[in-house]
Structure 1
Amino acid sequence: MLDVKKLLIDVFDPQPGEVVTFAVDLPRDDVPDHEGWSARRAMAERWRGVMAEIASERNFEVRPILTFVASGANNADLPAEGRLGDDDVGLMDALKASTLVIAMTEFSATAPLANLAEAEDDFRAASMPGVQERMEGTALAADYSKVAARCKAIFDIMDGAVLCDVLFSTGHRCWFDLRHRMPEMDDGFLPRGKEGDRIINLPSGETYVVPYEGEFEAVPSWTAGTIPVMEEEELVLFHVVANTVVVVEGEGPVAERFAAFFDADAARANIAEVAFGVNDRAEVTGEVLEDEKAGFHWAFGRSDHLGGVVGVEDFESPESVVHQDIVYAEGNPVQVERAVIIHADGRQVAVIDKGEYKF
């Protein structure tokens, strides 16, 4: 079984004087509790206990569990109020008072935590939406030195590239515009004072980038093509132009639902991420937090927390905000046959070929 103490030390290396906070979201009337969610809150208490043991050895503070009412949507803004143990607190103030936040939530808090990490000099966070105890035997137990090496290899390939050409197992193809962007690595290491992006998912293991979204005048995005999505055994096609899903093709209820979803808020149709998950212990079970670490994925919706330009203000309302990943790893109904990174000088490097990673 996973040595949680070793994992926390290896990933975060907490230092004397730090303030560590574990955060969880709570059910509300229209978002009822379930067994996995309550188990996650218990897992947070257990991990907090392990961190407190480390704190006694390293002389830092571990605060009571910070709770807040669930936002109800992945990467939506967080509520204003929360509770730190038995005390009512302003949620942002409680988060800012921490040097390290570990968020073990039902709904992803990655976007608001990423924005906080960008604004605060001594703040970092691990976002763990949907984490399950069983992952202590899978993706959380990975050799993160090897994961980091694979992330770096793909980062080096993507750095300075102009296109990512993806051929799906269905025969459909999409080109993702990598111009005007810098890739990032979620490699499982988040020590105090880390340079660059100071937020990770845990489990970790991906190199990602936000495709160019066409924000420069007279410079349209090159992202275009057809992305297949299989849900409830129904194949739906997302036709993409200028980094936006413009047509949803399909004849069943899933296609109707996606079409209505994008029509309700144009910002949702933004192509917000393209990424390569490289955690070899990750298993595909339908839980996106782990699934996405197992292979290629892309996302639609909000992107500002990953280096893009589409934020909360671009949506019809805060309640409409979304950042949703769709995964194409082994075990998913649709996979990636080939993914090639293209540079301006014509150099092409295959990251995936014949369905297999080359790195």
Structure 2
Amino acid sequence: MNLTPLMKAAMIAVRDCMGAQPGENALVVTDTGKLAIAESFLYAFHSLGIDATLMVMTPRDHHAQEPPSEVRAAMLSSDIALLVTTKSLTHTHARVDATNQGVRIASLPGITEDIMTIGAMTADYQKISELSWKLTKLMESTQEVEITTELGTHLVMSLKGRKPGIPPDDGIYREKGRWGNLPAGEAYIAPVEESVNGVAVIDGSQSPLGLLSTPIRITIQDGKAIKFEGGTEATQFERHLQSLNDPNAYWVAELGIGTNEKARVTGNILEDEKAFRTIHIAFGMNTDMGGKIESKTHDDGIVTNPTVKFDGKIIMEHGNFVI
């Protein structure tokens, strides 16, 4: 792969988003599926005079699977860690423990050359930060959320006693212990698990399946997915959850709202969940964001063009922000 087209985005990530400085110890974690892209970040660190190491592992089997012990140890001993992987390490204990030790972390699961050259990595991160913080402040004072779509989504959930992700996933990770995704762009929260009821019609994409040809209609009762309807992809997603042999994989884990104007819904969940005009509902692990569910996975489903109400007040109408 010719790394030259990637270097601008790699420098944005290393210099602007992470605020890397000479004298810091940086780590790039990757796997054999993302090795070439990971090299661009390594070279970006080196071009700034920063000591950086590249560690390559076997791709994980699913999102939220822990990395090898050697990778975990390296993460814990770094100032900055970029996780350039096929499957997400975001919702792992290794990431949480490194964050708690003050490591600045950006997770880039499924990152592609396309995202780095024309997609979400090209956005104005100051604008992303402003909108993400605005939504986060609203979440802090919200008791109940209602989400509807013309395709049949109708969900109600409580945020009472829960705190949104602070700071939000805005792409600015310069302070000790800051972490999030790159590309960035979402405000998110773990709702009160047992409070989530209704139907979610996932019509954009669903992790780990990718872009959907037919919407997946998921019935949720007291916080757990109990029924999957739709086409072949609904069956595939249900079988994916069954294959984990993990009853906690069915719990609603997260409500997220996309805040990146450049992000597109392409089937790559890293970019999809940041897209304007979308919210996402995740199933599985959420202890890393203030919830109480331990799980082997964390699978996001994208809902497009929603109407979202915070305590009865519309903050998004058919996908358009009205705040």
Bin of the TM-score, shorter chain as denominator length: 0.7 to 0.9
CA root-mean-square deviation: 2.0
Mapped contact 2:269–2:300 kept (Cα < 8 A): yes
Instruction: Confirm or deny: 8 A CA contact 2:152 2:199 kept in the other structure.
Output: no
1:128-147 → structure 2 map (5 Å cutoff): 128-136=108-116, 137-147=118-128
Residue of structure 2 in register with 1:223 after alignment: 196
Given the superposition, is the C-alpha separation of residues 3 and 257 from structure 1 closer, same or farther in structure 2, using an over 3 Å criterion? closer
Deviations 1:294-349 (A, max 9, x none): 0211111111222211124xxxxxxxx11111112xxxxxx23311111xxxxx33
State, as a whole percentage, how many aligned pairs show the same letter: 25
**Equivalent residues of 1:69, 1:79 under 8 A apart:** no
**1:323 aligned to 2:313?**
no
The answer to whether the 8 Å contact 1:71/1:79 transfers is no
Residue 61 (1) aligns with residue 51 (2):
yes
Which of 40, 44, 48 is matched with 2:38 structurally?
A: 44
Question: Which residue of structure 2 aligns with residue 336 of structure 1?
Answer: 305
Query: Using a 3 Å threshold, how does the CA distance of structure 1 residues 111 and 235 change in structure 2: closer, same or farther?
Result: closer
Give the one of 186, 195, 208 matched to 1:206. Answer: 186
Query: Which of 314, 317, 322 is the aligned partner of 1:353?
Result: 317
Change in 2 beyond 3 A, CA 1:260/1:138: closer
Q: Which residue does the alignment assign to 2:294? A: 311
Distance 1:224 1:275 in 2: 17
User: What letter matches 1:67 in structure 2?
Assistant: V
Residue number in structure 1 paired with 2:208: none
Alpha carbons of 1:18 and 1:3: their partners in 2 closer, same or farther (altered >3 Å)? same
Mapped to 1, the partners of 2:234 and 2:16 lie a distance apart of 44
> Quick one: structure 1 residues 47 and 172, their matched pair in 2 at CA, closer, same or farther if it must change by over 3 Å?
closer
1:70 aligns with 2:45: no
> What CA deviation, in whole Å up to 9, does each residue of 1:205-229 have, x standing for no partner?
100001112xxxxxxx321001113
Relative distance call for 1:337 and 1:62 in structure 2 (3 A) is closer
Instruction: Give 1:118 shift.
Output: 4.0
Q: For structure 1, which runs of at least 5 residues remain unmatched after alignment?
A: 27-36, 81-89, 214-220, 313-320, 329-334, 343-347
C-alpha contact 2:31 2:56 (8 A) present in aligned 1: yes
Matches of 2:115 and 2:215, distance apart in 1: 29
Out of 168, 171, 175, the residue aligned to residue 188 of structure 1 is 171
1:293 is aligned to 2:262: no
Q: Closer, same or farther in 2 for the Cα pair 1:162/1:102, shift >3 Å?
A: same
Residue type of the partner of 1:225?
G
Partner of 2:26: 20
Shift of 1:265: 2.8
Residue number in structure 2 paired with 1:267: 248
Following superposition, the deviation at residue 151 of structure 1 comes to: 0.3
Contact 1:340 1:351 in 2 (8 A): yes
What is the one-letter code of the residue matched to 2:142? A
Aligned length: 302
Aligned to 2:75: 95
Q: Which runs of 5+ in 2 are unaligned?
A: 204-210
Distance 1:232 1:130, change over 3 A: closer
| Structure 2 CA distance for aligned equivalents of residues 357 and 326 of structure 1 | 20
Q: Helix, strand or coil: the match of 1:286?
A: coil
Post-superposition, which runs of at least 4 consecutive aligned residues in structure 1 deviate over 6 A? none
Q: Please identify the structure whose Cα radius of gyration is greater.
A: 1
Paired AA for residue 283 in structure 1: R
- The answer to whether the 8 A contact 2:256-2:280 is kept is yes
- TM-score, normalised with respect to structure 1: 0.78
The 1:254/1:135 distance shift into structure 2, 3 A limit, reads closer
Q: How far did 1:16 drift?
A: 4.2
Q: What TM-score comes out, normalization by structure 2 length?
A: 0.87
Deviations along 1:136-165, whole A, 9 cap, x unmatched? 222111110100000011111111211210
> What amino acid sits opposite 2:105 in the alignment?
A
- What is the alpha-carbon distance in structure 2 between the residues aligned to residue 45 and residue 236 of structure 1? 37
CA 1:47–1:259 in 2, change beyond 3 Å: closer, same or farther? closer
* Cα shift at 1:240: 0.9
Equivalent-residue separation in structure 2 for 1:232 and 1:133 (angstroms): 22
